[in-house]
Structure 1
């Protein structure tokens, strides 16, 4: 009986210690490392959790040249399809799928003068390491991303044959691609060498803005109702 009582008291003491430890873990503030991990998870989910209009704002600012005033690129539309194969050239799709491409979100913008149109594509990867490796394996050719036209807008005539300039930039678990051409739909092969060199100078700026917006971490705030700690 004495042995049984000792064992019973031991189990009770162990249970009290376990419960006390669990309460401390559940009620303590999160560590800095835990906050960073939660922020990374939130960034990786933005392509699904954010409204499309937040990923692709109606207007994006850019500077057409050094010292010039800022202008606005206006969104013509957001493409409904998100499959990697449908949004990328076959060779590019093969490369990015190999690195874990999950989806490609696309929208097309027209510059303020409506002479240049730009399709911006957000390629989604499982994490930033996969996106980094994909960026290293992919060229920034203007023919990587498929053009997306929208009837009744300045981008109505923009098709794959009209692609003349492109860019690529990684932001967190995303790879943001751009492809641009002239709004009259003229084929790239028909463009003369007399084309102004800075005609497409603003194109990477649009991709950069979207990449930075998607990748900027927002550390959890336990006092904010949008977060649960």
Structure 2
């Protein structure tokens, strides 16, 4: 009888040990997000990870952001320059410098029609929340300044993309304590067409001085939103173990 009890105890001990081992193995397979990785994204992630080949979603906007099947924007080139002076337009640069701009990473994309180009920028700021929010608030009312200096890409549809061709822009701060970035974008036409005052009766529906730029600004805002989500994804992919 004693032997049977000891034998049963041994079996239970083995089962318990196996359960503990299985639990430990299960834990070892878990990926625990490291929020602080967000602070190193701009320096530790490859440029083509920060600026993927394609970005879009199931509805052409958000969703499977880097899945080529749902691409809305396709990358044409990435700037080797990372200085704030090279990446931003004058008034945006002045505001960015006031809050301690550290670097500006840029890439240029084209939409599916081949008619619209956009340069998107990741603006690197000191840690914390206040600096990026301060920049985003300062940018309000400065949309016509263009935010990001256009990045021309030789040999592509964006070969002639330059400052004068800017039609829309947007800038927003990323969310999260450990994401010290603002994301900005400037949009324009591949053929250099400039958005201007609407003709005839159409102009009556707009405040004097307004131009037919709403769609350009809307596209810039959507692109900024997609990159905000993409940066969030990169932060989640960074892990401790």
Length-normalised TM-score, structure 2: 0.67
Query: 1:186: Cα distance to partner?
Result: 2.7
Residue 76 (structure 1) aligns with: 76
Aligned to 1:193: 198
Contact 1:149 1:158 (8 Å CA) reproduced:
yes
Structure 1 counterpart of 2:156? 153
CA offsets 1:56-103 (integer angstroms, 9 cap, x no match): 1101115569xxx96521101001111111111222212111101100
The number of equivalent residue pairs is 182
Which of 31, 35, 46 is matched with 2:41 structurally? 46
Unaligned runs of 5+ in 1: 1-34, 225-229
- Please state how far the C-alpha of 1:184 moved relative to its aligned partner: 0.6
CA RMSD in angstroms, aligned pairs only: 2.7
Cα distance change of structure 1 residues 132 and 113 upon mapping to structure 2, 3 Å threshold: same
The 2-side partners of 1:141 and 1:199 are apart by 11
Q: Within 2, Cα distance between the matches of 1:213 and 1:79? A: 19
Equivalent residues in 2 for 1:1-229, closer than 5 Å: 39-61=34-56, 63=59, 71-129=71-129, 130-139=131-140, 141-142=143-144, 143-171=146-174, 172-188=179-195, 191=196, 193=198, 198=215, 201-216=218-233, 217-218=235-236, 224=241
Normalized against structure 1, the TM-score is what? 0.70
Deviations 1:114-134 (A, max 9, x none): 100010011001224221122
Counterpart CA distance in 1 for 2:197 and 2:147 is: 22
Deviation at 1:196, TM superposition (A): 8.4
> Would the alpha carbon gap of residues 113 and 56 (structure 1) be closer, same or farther in structure 2, given more than 3 Å must change?
same
